[in-house]
Chain A
């Protein structure tokens, strides 16, 4: 086994051991905590792994990630390009964006539910609102760092605006957009679970509350493991995309 795998696995094993020791110790005083032990969690996990309902929850959550990310890209990339090319737009919006960016997206939850109603719409809104900033700021930085000679080349070819945008500017900032996407996925995944605890009846966040209400604590712990693992995989995928693009270049 390569050394690059041994150390990470050792770290994970150590964490599991600490987890087991902690539940064992605490269960002496609070017997119910024995339900949270790793052995219980992994047993629940193997049960859930073949449960179609669990896969449905996962599917719903991943779909929300996709919709939230797509909406953030649809708004963040054009706004970022505009910020990058227009000094006026940049100056007018920078303080506003920095202000909005610092408000936890979950603060908007009550308003989002009032305006958009109960269901998926407010969740999409919260995810997109959280994810738009890293995409917007990275896109703007990418435009600002574009090689001036590429733009001069486009002008020397009498390129139209659309040609300059689609043949030079957008491909030239893909690496920046992808690093924005990676940050955005991390944020979305963190916001997703609490957002799904409010007014929806499917998804991993909903599953956690549901498990709690059913007193199915091993399932609750198993869901936490699933959330961590999926987040890890999403981030890994985003990183792979980014590196794949750069390798080519």
Chain B
């Protein structure tokens, strides 16, 4: 379906002097009006790594994602993208939101290609842009719907177009903020599998914000647990379970219980718990 090779050797990390696509140190943020935001956060996302940011409602996941994507400036700390300090959204990053937010006056093809010809995007001639959009739409299974209008699409199809719009930009890093939470369970499962498949083929890393533990376990290479107010990253798990993960029920269940207990602990104390539950001092 795609011109891209399905399997590849790891990219030469030395190109930028670092193996991280994104590198954030000492970040914090507070909204001027409410004072809400997040506390000190440091994290790195490796090339082609799928990182899930998991946490309860209101702990600042979306805010952190916007700061990491360069949409908001942090109060303190720095974000580096491919080694360079980030001042505005990087042309090699792309965003997918909870709502597909397609532009209703453009058809599917033009929606998927939206923004490729903007001034601050990498220059590419019209033919190359067209090829990229075709490839992205084919990858999400919508090649036959190029001429359709957004109003004619189902919610799942619209979100596929939004994913294609991100892929067409050939991102190094895809930011996704609860991209599947507005979909029904069956469509969501399809989309989770599709996401893992296409980002592998596109060699993209992903930062996926979710409050669905199962989603995180199904797709993530690494899970970050965010909790507290203002939120911080409390725990981190590296997920070594091979794909497809539904075939490894035991390992999945064990990890799930582990995450659940960490979540419970974080919400019970409201303060940073110690890194492992067994080290908790008894009262």
A174 contacts chain B at the CB level, 8 A cutoff = yes
Contacts A156-B89, A158-B91 given; indicate if A171 touches B119 (C-beta within 8 A): no
Closest-CB distance, A188 to chain B (whole angstroms):
26
Q: Are B149 and A152 in contact (CB under 8 A)?
A: no
**Of A152, A154, A159, which contacts B97 at CB under 8 A?**
A152
| Chain A residues within an 8 Å CB radius of B17 | none
| Chain A residues within an 8 Å CB radius of B94 | 156
Q: Are B149 and A153 in contact (CB under 8 A)?
A: no
A163 contacts chain B at the CB level, 8 A cutoff = yes
**Of B71, B88, B150, which contacts A249 at CB under 8 A?**
B150
A105 contacts chain B at the CB level, 8 A cutoff = no
B151 contacts chain A at the CB level, 8 A cutoff = yes
**Of A150, A152, A158, A245, which contacts B120 at CB under 8 A?**
A158
**Of A149, A156, A168, which contacts B69 at CB under 8 A?**
A156
Digitize B85-122: 1 where CB-to-A-CB distance is under 8 Å, 0 elsewhere. 00011010111010101011100000000110011110
| CA–CA, A163 and B150, complex, Å | 21
Return the chain B residue nearest A154 by Cβ: B115
A155 contacts chain B at the CB level, 8 A cutoff = yes
Q: Are B103 and A157 in contact (CB under 8 A)?
A: no
A-contacting residues of B (Cβ < 8 Å)? 69, 71, 88-89, 91, 93-95, 97, 99, 101, 103-105, 114-115, 118-121, 149-151
Q: Are A159 and B103 in contact (CB under 8 A)?
A: no
| CA–CA, A160 and B120, complex, Å | 8
Task: List 5 interface pairs A-B (beta carbons < 8 Å), by A numbering.
Answer: A149-B99, A157-B120, A158-B88, A159-B119, A171-B103
**Of B95, B101, B119, B121, which contacts A150 at CB under 8 A?**
B101
A231 contacts chain B at the CB level, 8 A cutoff = no
Return the chain B residue nearest A149 by Cβ: B101
| CA–CA, A172 and B104, complex, Å | 8
Q: How many A-B residue pairs have C-beta atoms within 8 angstroms? Tell me.
A: 62
| Chain B residues within an 8 Å CB radius of A87 | none
Q: Are B71 and A149 in contact (CB under 8 A)?
A: no
A248 contacts chain B at the CB level, 8 A cutoff = yes
A147 contacts chain B at the CB level, 8 A cutoff = yes
Return the chain B residue nearest A163 by Cβ: B118
Digitize A121-161: 1 where CB-to-B-CB distance is under 8 Å, 0 elsewhere. 00000000000000000000000000101101111111110
| Chain B residues within an 8 Å CB radius of A157 | 89, 114-115, 118, 120-121
Closest-CB distance, B17 to chain A (whole angstroms):
24
| Chain A residues within an 8 Å CB radius of B114 | 153, 157, 167
Q: Are B150 and A156 in contact (CB under 8 A)?
A: no
| Chain A residues within an 8 Å CB radius of B151 | 249
Closest-CB distance, B125 to chain A (whole angstroms):
18
Return the chain A residue nearest B175 by Cβ: A156
| CA–CA, A149 and B159, complex, Å | 14
| CA–CA, A143 and B101, complex, Å | 16
Q: Are B101 and A147 in contact (CB under 8 A)?
A: yes
Contacts A153-B95, A249-B151 given; indicate if A159 touches B118 (C-beta within 8 A): yes
Top-7 shortest CB links A-B: A249-B104, A149-B101, A158-B120, A157-B115, A156-B95, A156-B89, A171-B105
